[in-house]
Structure 1
């Protein structure tokens, strides 16, 4: 793990040198590190799914207690695949999208991927905070670009101020939490959770930091403003990686802190309110990127509620939706980039007839949109069905019927803005000016979109493998009422644990 982080830093620093010698082929060099991360994580699957974890430590200054502790478990494995898998595809996509300043952008994207990798692997609260702020700095530089446009500078400052302020609140929460627990090691806190009034104060501070990073209302404004950044930046940072840092932190601490007041009211109230309000706001947008941005805020609200609910079924649903959202939302952002690149506009009032003019792009985009809407047999359907099960039958959650009603409302609005997005981008008569002027994109340009859209189909159809990955994290929670449903084969085995008699899938 330490070698992996060193590889990100070394290659990112050398990218400008590679660009001078390879030109646009530098994107392939940059993609090698996240691809290697995907492969390395794949070699650790067996041990992680068996309930094990891999640990590494770097004793930087032992006398001062400064130790870099890293740990790979089921949740960090999922995050690694999201960050590295989407990151590699975005870097390959940039080969066709980015026309200038490739070295700087590639280096920053790779450095950001390295920071997210460190955040996912951190097993120490202070190490986690360092990588957390490194993602904030990288995001600022990527949004601002060269600083020539006032709107980019303004959006970058807004993102920096909001997320950095939240990070400082989170740091204070970490200090209080570590003092109450007697350790700053995350795995030790999860194994023996602290309790008391100080822990409640720490919970509030930590959640404020998570809400700012994951753009929860009313702290969401920086994310739509950040859409002035290049589309690959939006696809990676603001759909698959950076905004997942907040929900990752919630998922990491929920097994230990979900029962601490006021954890559940905060994550459920803020998360579900964000889901509904942001989905409604997305229906009003005419810019495709802004529509997807508010859709992202809405879906992050759902992830916040699921991963913070503190029940096994909700954790299972949240882990599935974490994978689903990374796949379909990054695919949709990249698709918008191709539309903008080939038509010169993202305004749905000006786009018309692209579905017939660009049938392959339309097909793969429709597949990703269907996953976002939660249609079977895509992985988005699995996540939404499990989420409904978690709230409808989650009798350990106060007001679970009301929570279910809000979830259904938000999901209905999600279907509505998904349909608006697809029709706005590709619908209408083929006689429109944009359809006539659009040329077919290169196969390499569309390939990352196709891979990400196809991943949603594969994860949905091959649900047994998806279940094995996500239940490894959900097993950190005790089974709730919804988890005790017997297998339909009649042997009495628990539905979510997988039946040894009929080998049925543990996916709900």
Structure 2
């Protein structure tokens, strides 16, 4: 598994060289790694569906417990079908979509493959930290794909908005990962699922992780980045914002759902935000005139639906969620690719300008009808299976379950309505609109769009296979006494009635769309996510400018004071609140430590009282040499030698630099007024650092595993009995080279100062000699025509 992830990323690094010569070849090569990954995963499908997960561990730093862990289970198998399968189709589609040699094609081929590799790593990750690494890689790839060349202001703004919202959510999620991992005692997801922690840390982790999931999957009020990201080329929208990236949040909720069973901080926000997102996203999609924007808001609505299903923590809801996850990836990828073909062939995707394309491109119209039927939940499509199962999943939940079902029906009404609007807007003959001229698409564009649409039919008719695939993941919640199944016919039951109401209501809403749009325009709009985002960003910018203007004032004491205050307020307060000094602590271990410590203290006080700059520098040197003496007493002569060298170099540099500064310090009235606050801050900072040093050094009760390894290999591997020297010179050779480089740079600086001072003395001497010669020079007399003029220089 790690090899497939690595191949994706390595080939993506090499693709720019191919894309510069032939972009079509670049897309064809980019399709090979996800195709190979798909074939390999399908070869393991039998074992995975029977419950035998494929696990791989790649050690990173074993002694520190850091490793990349990958796990192919039922959920990862389901997501791989979308990530790798749709990825191959989108890359093949891109061969015919992008103009050969265009800049978008050169950028998109390697970035799409890199994104596929990052997404593949995310869905296979069995470690929280590994998952976070790939999570952020998808965010970065999305930013680059949406922004493209960054030529237009709209693309830059959309890319930055997507980056800000998803990355800020990811940082909050990382904190939740740390809380969860520390509470569970492990960061392995499978181990946390087997033995989840409890108490307050679990609730806190649930709330923090949800922020990342909600922002990534465009749940309201974080949804506005997804419609604005539609400025990206259509293949990118089809892959990132329909089939894979936006499902990362849904996948995360599905993956960690068994950990947070029964935690209200988990399922209550998911249900509330998911229902609101489904209804409002569908309502907004119904009124859009841009086909990509219509599908974008439809994606927002469907993501809310998916969140509600995968966040419930029951077998029935997980079964429906798995089916809908697969169905949504198939029909939404098809519809985005269809819209791309319409835009590519007709030159527009505005429903007000399109007319009669159904007669000119009948094959494309059939493909779009199949995908839209699955989105609307019509039999025998895969979307019908998932929606029927979703309506039935909440019937046993009493009044709350019935209320959720009613909201889902309302959202499904809007889904049917915007599905009909998409078909009507793209392919219908509209009275009063001239027929749109467009050539039928070639096979490179049509076939990749048609495969997911027909797959939705096959998986709907072949529901036993779909039931097995979805049920393998749902089994992680337990089956109970009655195990629901995905079927095309359950009899005349309430879910069937809900489906009929949704279809009839959706067709009615589409027929009355003009009146509904007028009603929408007449309603007040107190809340607007995009306007809220812009105001928040403006507020952050004003705050940043204000804070920067008040803190970055060019004063070194101010900067040091801010750093010390931060240390005192954040870690210092926590440290002092849990202060437990070690019981065996003594004031000194060697008598020589006492005079050396007194020497350092006296020199430190004298530095503060010094009036001359040179005196202060010499006293700072005394402090450094005193600390070096403490190193010798404590048995660290190598550290003492380094300390003496650094102090000597520093003092020489200071002495040469001070030649250009006034001999005495100058202190104004403001400095005298701040004397006592500075004293208090410095003393408090010193006390906190000293206490922290004592506590941290006493906290380690035994040497770490890495130390034992160094001791075992020092004499044999490095030929040294001094372990510290072996670490510095042999095991950390690059670090030693860096330290030598620092010393070389410092020595170069000192030499430059010496040469500069000598040059300065010579220049002053030559200038003084020149002035003396001019002063002693007699007046020059020059005449012209008997006239004498005295010239004095």
Scaled by the length of structure 2, what TM-score is found? Answer: 0.60
**Contact kept? 1:393, 1:482, Cα under 8 Å:** no
Aligned residue number for residue 750 of structure 2:
none
Which protein has the larger Cα radius of gyration, Structure 1 or Structure 2? 2
Q: CA offsets, 1:267-326, max 9 Å, x none? A: 111111110111001111110000000000000001000001100000000000010000
- Tell me by how many angstroms 1:428 deviates: 1.8
Alpha-carbon distance in 1 for matches of 2:232, 2:285: 19
- 2:342 aligned with 1:352: no
Q: CA offsets, 1:355-403, max 9 Å, x none? A: 11110100101100000000000000000000001012345xx710101
Aligned residue number for residue 216 of structure 1:
219
What are structure 1's unaligned runs of at least 5 residues? Answer: 488-508
- 2:158 aligned with 1:173: no
Aligned residue number for residue 90 of structure 1:
90
1:158 to 1:316, Cα distance in 2 relative to 1, 3 A = same
1:23 to 1:245, Cα distance in 2 relative to 1, 3 A = closer
Point out which structure has higher relative CO (alpha carbons under 8 A, 6+ apart).
Answer: 1
- 2:376 aligned with 1:378: no
Of residues 326, 329, 332 in structure 2, which corresponds to 1:326?
A: 329
Aligned residue number for residue 439 of structure 1:
439
Aligned residue number for residue 26 of structure 2:
26
**Contact kept? 1:195, 1:260, Cα under 8 Å:** no
Aligned residue number for residue 285 of structure 2:
282
Aligned residue number for residue 419 of structure 1:
420
Residues 181-260 of structure 1 aligned to structure 2 (within 5 Å): 181-260=184-263
Query: How many residues matched?
Result: 483
SS across alignment from 1:364: helix
**Contact kept? 2:213, 2:250, Cα under 8 Å:** yes
Aligned residue number for residue 49 of structure 2:
49
**Contact kept? 1:328, 1:372, Cα under 8 Å:** yes
- Tell me by how many angstroms 1:443 deviates: 1.7
Alpha-carbon distance in 1 for matches of 2:211, 2:59: 31
- Tell me by how many angstroms 1:470 deviates: 0.8
Alpha-carbon distance in 1 for matches of 2:74, 2:110: 29
Q: Which range moved further: 64-73 or 133-142?
A: 64-73
SS across alignment from 2:223: coil
What are structure 2's unaligned runs of at least 5 residues? Answer: 488-793
SS across alignment from 2:126: coil
Alpha-carbon distance in 2 for matches of 1:112, 1:430: 43
1:25 to 1:483, Cα distance in 2 relative to 1, 3 A = same
Aligned residue number for residue 463 of structure 1:
463
**Contact kept? 2:429, 2:435, Cα under 8 Å:** no
Scaled by the length of structure 1, what TM-score is found? Answer: 0.93
Aligned residue number for residue 474 of structure 2:
474
- Tell me by how many angstroms 1:25 deviates: 2.6
Residues 312-323 of structure 1 aligned to structure 2 (within 5 Å): 312-323=315-326
CA RMSD of aligned residues (A): 1.5
Residues 285-296 of structure 1 aligned to structure 2 (within 5 Å): 285-296=288-299
Alpha-carbon distance in 1 for matches of 2:484, 2:252: 27
**Contact kept? 1:279, 1:410, Cα under 8 Å:** yes
Alpha-carbon distance in 2 for matches of 1:120, 1:67: 16
Q: CA offsets, 1:67-125, max 9 Å, x none? A: 11111100011111110000000000001111113232100000000000000000000
Alpha-carbon distance in 1 for matches of 2:292, 2:261: 34
- Tell me by how many angstroms 1:342 deviates: 1.0
SS across alignment from 2:477: coil
